[in-house]
């Protein structure tokens, strides 16, 4: 069974971290409504949604992806690059410990889950303002013995690696189809994969969340959505422009993993 761990939108969302966006007023009620519709999309695609409570002093806690990396064998509890976000971590670790052995990233390692793009057993990790070389080293040490490869890629122009590239369809051995903003990452760095480029009018459109054969995708990128649909990729469109004002998108609002059926 697939579990989607999510986290409540904080009443303090308007105080979120911002790196590449100017601060704009955020309507928390509207963000909460959009988040509920996102969760409904995950449930429709077969995930059991488990929502953790948020807190007013954790403005970014809805972006739960940044706190942990959950693989079949274990979960890595991350040290988010923004110090203000580290208080989000313990509650997520507590929720995950029932499902996976935990490995804790240690200082001075830093990593946001938004920087980790997994294609099967290949992990591409963005070296960004949130993720450092020591974090990448620790990830390698934990995961190479389990058969994963870890490749570091420089991220420029955007917050996380997955702002620039996400997987939208599964492939064979070499990986499937990636949705990419070529202005932020060179498609060639991923090796032998098929690439769909975002529409030039939609720089932030490369973040998509694949669940099985379907893709949860923001309603506010119609041009790129059309490209994906033309490529035969089924989309479950969700409204998320209010959360986007906090520099979040669709991968960042859940941790997806499998657990044995009861
Ligand atoms: C932050 O800057 O940390 C949040 N305002 C947005 C985090 C988005 N996370 C993600 O895309 N994985």
Of 61, 158, 160, 253, which one is the catalytic site residue?
A: 160
Structure confidence by residue, pLDDT tens digits, 166-223: 999 997 655 689 999 999 999 999 998 999 999 999 999 999 999 999 999 999 999 9
Structure confidence by residue, pLDDT tens digits, 23-76: 999 999 999 999 999 999 999 999 999 999 999 999 999 999 999 999 999 999
Residue 240 annotated as catalytic: no
Q: For residue 172, what pLDDT is reported?
A: 60
The protein residue with its alpha carbon nearest to ligand 1, atom 5, reads 17
Shortest-distance atom of ligand 1 to CA 112: 12
How far does residue 86's CA lie from ligand 1's centre (Å)? 13
**Residue owning tokens 């041009």:** 223
Q: For residue 171, what pLDDT is reported?
A: 76
Q: Could you tell me the pLDDT band of residue 248, with boundaries at 50, 70 and 90? A: very high
Burial of residue 86, with CB atoms counted within 10 A of its CB: 0-12 exposed, 13-18 middle, 19 or more buried: middle
Q: For residue 176, what pLDDT is reported?
A: 87
The length of the chain, given as a count of residues: 262
| The token pair that represents 250 in the structure block | 């669709």
Shortest-distance atom of ligand 1 to CA 207: 11
Alpha helices in 116-221 (DSSP H): 133-143, 161-164
Residue 253 annotated as catalytic: no
Q: For residue 175, what pLDDT is reported?
A: 61
pTM of the model: 0.97
Instruction: Say how many C-beta atoms besides its own lie within 10 A of residue 149's C-beta.
Output: 13
């Amino acid at each position: 069974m697939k579990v989607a761990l999510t986290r409540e939108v904080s009443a303090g969302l308007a105080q979120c971290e911002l790196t590449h966006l100017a601060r704009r007023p955020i309507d928390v009620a509207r963000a909460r409504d959009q988040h509920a519709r996102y969760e409904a999309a995950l449930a429709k695609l077969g995930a059991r949604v488990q929502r953790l409570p948020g807190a007013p002093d954790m403005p970014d806690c809805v972006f739960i992806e940044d706190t942990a990396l959950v693989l079949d064998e274990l979960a890595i509890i991350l040290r988010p690059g923004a110090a203000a976000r580290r208080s989000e971590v313990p509650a997520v670790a507590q929720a995950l410990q029932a499902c996976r052995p935990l490995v804790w990233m240690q200082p001075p390692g830093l990593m946001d889950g938004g920087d980790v793009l997994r294609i099967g057993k290949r992990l591409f990790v963005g070296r960004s303002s949130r993720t450092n070389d020591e974090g990448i080293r620790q990830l390698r040490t934990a995961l190479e013995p389990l058969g994963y490869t870890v490749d570091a890629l420089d991220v420029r122009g955007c917050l996380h690696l997955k702002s620039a590239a996400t997987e939208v369809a599964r492939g064979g051995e070499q990986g499937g189809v990636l949705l990419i903003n070529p202005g932020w990452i060179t498609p060639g760095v991923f090796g032998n994969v098929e690439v769909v480029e975002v529409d030039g009018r939609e720089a932030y459109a490369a973040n998509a969340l694949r669940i099985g054969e379907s893709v949860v995708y923001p309603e506010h990128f119609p041009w790129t959505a059309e490209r994906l649909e033309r490529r035969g990729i089924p989309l479950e469109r969700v409204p998320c422009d209010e959360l986007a004002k906090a520099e979040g998108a669709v991968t960042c609002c859940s941790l997806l993993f499998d657990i044995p059926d009861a």
